[in-house]
Chains A and B, each alone.
Chain A
Amino acid sequence: MKCHEFQGLITAYLGETIEESRREQFEEHFFACRQCFLGLKINESLRNKGARIQLNDPPHLFTFKVLRPLLAMAALFLLVLFSALLVQRDRRAGQLRELARFDLPLYHQGEMRGEAESARGWEEQFSLAMRHYQERDFRAALDLFEGPVLSAADLPKAAFFRAICYLETDQLAGAEAIFDAIIRDMNPAYFDEACYYKGFIRLRQGRLPEARAQFAKLAGMLSPMAGKARDMIRKIDEL
């Protein structure tokens, strides 16, 4: 007997209306075929009411059925929104990084600002440090600026370029301490530049309103850096 024939005879077998000639074939088949025997057992169990049939769907299933597409749409919407926010945040971070870049303050060999520097013992060390600085090797420059000779020399220009080196190596606290000292001392040789580059510390910290306030302070002064500060304010406002 084939399986499909068997399936067609299950009801007749259980209802005892199966032809006697087919009955034995039917029985022999379910002894040998697991699938067909399972079909017979399912029918038998249902006939004997061994299983329960609930016609009404449980309410929570119905609710879930209705809510499922809505939940899927909401999840999709959130995903799109989240992706857009991520992209926007990345773009903004990129713009901020771009804005926080600055041109290095130039140094001319032998330049002097303010009072004449008296002691000359540090000159060689300073020249060497500034050579590293101009080659953008800020770590090597810092080794010399932080060394005993230049630290002891108490030179405003050494302090200023040391702060710039800190800024370029992202040692923002070190840079800020020096700029603050220059601003506090009102040292006219580097006062304007300290104010200007302090604005970049704020930019690198991601503190945009404070950076803008710092540049605005300088823009309101009678200062050679006022024009550059106004440029920065414009760029921040465009961001």
Chain B
Amino acid sequence: MDEERFFARLRAGDPQAQKELIQTFNPRIFVYFRNRIKGESSYEDLVQEVFSAFFHGLDQGKLAGADWIAPFIFGIARRVMYNYFYRQKKSNDIQKNICTQCELSSSFSEAERLDNEKLGQVLSGLIQKLPRIDREILDAFYFQERKIGEIADMTGRSPHYVSVRKERALKKIRAEISRKNLY
């Protein structure tokens, strides 16, 4: 993607560029909130607040260029998270702050769920193509929740070997997903 051209499209209010931005950062913001705020059943309002603030800031010329998009969104997400903790006992009225310059009617939670489902399917297919030993290691580590040392004992290999194989398998999967632009 030509970052600067993308930024120019965003500045011009191109709906397609806004959609691309949301698709890129929605999963990241979800992961951030999910790991930061426990016990919350839906982060949709918070995610919406982040995008709302982002487009508002963009409109006010707070972004200098394409390089600043990710740090800017991260900064907003962090602020939204702190605000959440600050007013978690109060009723928040985020809906009133929704930015009117951009269409934010999509369901972020549903998008996140579909996103995860798609990734799960892609992963299953790619894992099946791995050598059996790699599948055994991933299965033991993630599904049986065993530690590297236990897997080493189980497979009769050294912990270093198991660890390296696991990382290489993940790297291979990541490279394949990136190469085919599957996710």
Contact = CB atoms under 8 A, between A and B. Distances in A.
A and B associate: yes
B163 to A, nearest CB: 10
B35 A16 contact: yes
A127 to B, nearest CB: 83
Given A31-B70, A37-B28, A42-B173, A49 B143 contact: yes
A51 B128 CA distance: 10
Nearest to A43: B170
B64 to A, nearest CB: 15
Given A27-B35, A31-B73, A42-B123, 9 more contacts: A28-B74, A32-B70, A37-B31, A38-B174, A41-B31, A42-B170, A51-B119, A52-B120, A55-B136
B50 to A, nearest CB: 11
A30 B124 contact: no
Interface in A67-112: none
25 contacts: A16-B35, A24-B78, A30-B31, A31-B28, A31-B32, A31-B70, A37-B27, A37-B28, A39-B174, A41-B119, A43-B170, A44-B31, A45-B116, A48-B116, A49-B142, A50-B119, A51-B119, A51-B121, A52-B120, A52-B127, A53-B138, A53-B139, A53-B143, A54-B128, A54-B135
A177 interface: no
Contacts of A30: 28, 31
Contacts of B143: 46, 49, 53
Interface of A: 7, 13-14, 16, 24, 27-28, 30-32, 34-35, 37-55, 57
A44 B183 CA distance: 14
Contacts of B77: 31
A45 B173 contact: no
Given A13-B35, A35-B174, A42-B170, A50 B123 contact: yes
Nearest to B24: A34
A45 B132 contact: no
B123 A55 contact: no
A51 B181 CA distance: 18
Contact of A40 (B25, B31, B120): B31
B178 interface: yes
B135 A27 contact: no
A122 B114 CA distance: 98
Contacts of B31: 30, 37, 40-41, 44
A35 B28 CA distance: 12
Interface in B70-120: 70-71, 73-74, 77-78, 116-117, 119-120
B153 interface: no
A68 B25 CA distance: 44
